[in-house]
Amino acid sequence: MSSSADARSVALGVIRRVVEEGAYSNLALAGALRRSGLSRRDRDLAAELAYGTIRRIPALDWAIAPRSTRPLARVTPSALALLRLGAYQLLFTRIPDHAAISETVELADPRERGFVNAILRALARDRPSWPEGGSIGAVSVRTGLSAWAVRELRLLLGDEAVDAAAALAERAPLALRTNTCRVSVEELEGALQAAGLQPRRGAIHPETLLVDAGVPAQLPGWSEGWFAVQDEASAFVVRALGPRPGERVLDACAGPGGKATHVACLVGDGGLTVGADISPARPGCKWPSPPGAPACCGRAGCWSIRCARSPGRRRTPPVTPFAGAGRTSSRSRSRGRTGRRNAFACGPTGTGPTPCSSPYSGAVLERLRPGPPVESAPWGARSRCPLGVPTPMTSERDRGMGLE
């Protein structure tokens, strides 16, 4: 098997984990690449194929369905993943057709090779013309956004929804938010330039630097905690909140903790930031921490941050969850994952933005009432929040968060 086939095999595994198991693509890809032993060039290929295929699932399915001899719902998950992977190479990359088809078919089970080969060859011979117009279905196919996400954009933006969806479909650069508690923007910019990159300042968050490509862990300043991989939209949320030194801030849907660590830097050692999430695995508590620091501070070097568990998910009607397309852009939250469905998944509200997993999604970042000095509070854990005093978000219903 060639190295490019190995890269496709890695991409295929990531695609299946995201679609069939509901995995976060950035975490699934990072783990797969660590185990792969691929060269840097093949790692880049695997990342492009994995993220690109996930990003374009609506378009790929639309192109595959008319050429399939059976409904896509009856195609085995393994064959469907291969068809999507192969179709992405044919329709959205400059990989030669023969390489895209042969290398992809080689990964198929012997019983499915004829089926996969026939459809990919038919697609190569007769490439689709993408639907035009502003209908929800046409916009979904052209952009890769789920139909419900396009519908939400219509509710929010009206006539601008089509242009907004097209902008969301563009590939995003790698966004690096400077950790100003450790380094200046100018110093990080110089280090990236010295490494042969061409960083440019963000348009809406001046402390964010944009680069066209790169593996974050291999960039200068990663181990020193000089930056966080975080897009401008997320960084702008913290800028809009405007945390001040000494304040106490709760991020009730912290996820990996990008905004929480940003807030922690701004409130300083005299303040307190609590990063909470419904999933114990999501808060960024896996970074190596300085001696004596809480597990959630990690490379960010912030000593004023704690981890906590958010209350249970808000019950909503069964919907298709988010795609979790990882570091391609935060816009991936609008892309549909075709995996498991459940009654607790985040989904469309019918009136605007989708709900966060926490009942407190209306104020994801919320200032807390003043309390005792941070020095008197013990280091936090996921099941306990060391606020020390009642807060506006404390009640019998909220004991699971540890905010008592």
DSSP string, 274-309: EEEESSTTSSS--S---TTS-TTTGGG--SSEEEEE
Structure tokens at 206: 């001046």
Give residue 258's pLDDT: 83
Give residue 173's pLDDT: 85
Mean pLDDT for 145-170 is 88
- 261 and 396 fall within a common domain: yes
Nearest to 100 by CA among 120, 118, 80, 114: 120
The answer, yes or no, to whether residue 328 has pLDDT greater than 90, is no
- 252 and 394 fall within a common domain: yes
Instruction: Report yes or no: 335 and 54 within 8 Å, Cβ to Cβ.
Output: yes
Assigned domain for 41 exists = yes
Digit-coded pLDDT (tens) for 186-218:
999 999 999 888 999 998 898 999 998 767 877
- 262 and 400 fall within a common domain: yes
Q: Which residues contact 191 (CB under 8 A, 6 or more apart)?
A: 220, 221, 226
Assigned domain for 53 exists = yes
Structure confidence at residue 144 as a pLDDT band (50, 70, 90): confident
Write down which residue in 125, 158, 191 finishes a domain.
Answer: 125
Write down which residue in 125, 153, 187 finishes a domain.
Answer: 125
Q: Is pLDDT larger for residue 65 or for residue 394?
A: 65
Q: Which of 34-48, 140-154, 184-198, 338-352 has the lowest mean pLDDT?
A: 338-352
- 251 and 384 fall within a common domain: yes
Does pTM top 0.85 for this prediction? no
Assigned domain for 263 exists = yes
Assigned domain for 297 exists = yes
Structure confidence at residue 284 as a pLDDT band (50, 70, 90): low
Helices (H) and strands (E) counted in the chain, each on its own, are 13, 8
Share of the chain above pLDDT 70, in %: 67
Q: Is pLDDT larger for residue 276 or for residue 9?
A: 9
Q: Which residues contact 194 (CB under 8 A, 6 or more apart)?
A: 220
Q: Is pLDDT larger for residue 284 or for residue 181?
A: 181
Give first-to-last CA distance, the chain, whole Å: 57
Structure confidence at residue 102 as a pLDDT band (50, 70, 90): very high
Assigned domain for 292 exists = yes
The answer, yes or no, to whether residue 273 has pLDDT greater than 90, is no
Q: Which residues contact 291 (CB under 8 A, 6 or more apart)?
A: none
Assigned domain for 9 exists = yes
Structure confidence at residue 65 as a pLDDT band (50, 70, 90): very high
Mean pLDDT score across all residues of the chain: 74
Domain that holds residue 65: 3-125
The answer, yes or no, to whether residue 181 has pLDDT greater than 90, is no
Structure confidence at residue 344 as a pLDDT band (50, 70, 90): very low
The answer, yes or no, to whether residue 382 has pLDDT greater than 90, is no
The answer, yes or no, to whether residue 335 has pLDDT greater than 90, is no
Give residue 178's pLDDT: 93
Assigned domain for 232 exists = no
* Strand 272-277, strand 248-251: pairing: parallel
CA distance 355 to 366: 16
CA distance 58 to 87: 12
Assigned domain for 277 exists = yes
Residue 384: DSSP 8-state:
B
Q: Is pLDDT larger for residue 381 or for residue 308?
A: 308
**In this structure, what CATH number is given to the domain that contains residue 90?**
1.10.940.10
Write down which residue in 55, 90, 125 finishes a domain.
Answer: 125
The answer, yes or no, to whether residue 239 has pLDDT greater than 50, is yes
Which range, 1-15, 63-77, 230-244, has the best average confidence (pLDDT)?
Answer: 63-77
Number of domains in the chain: 2
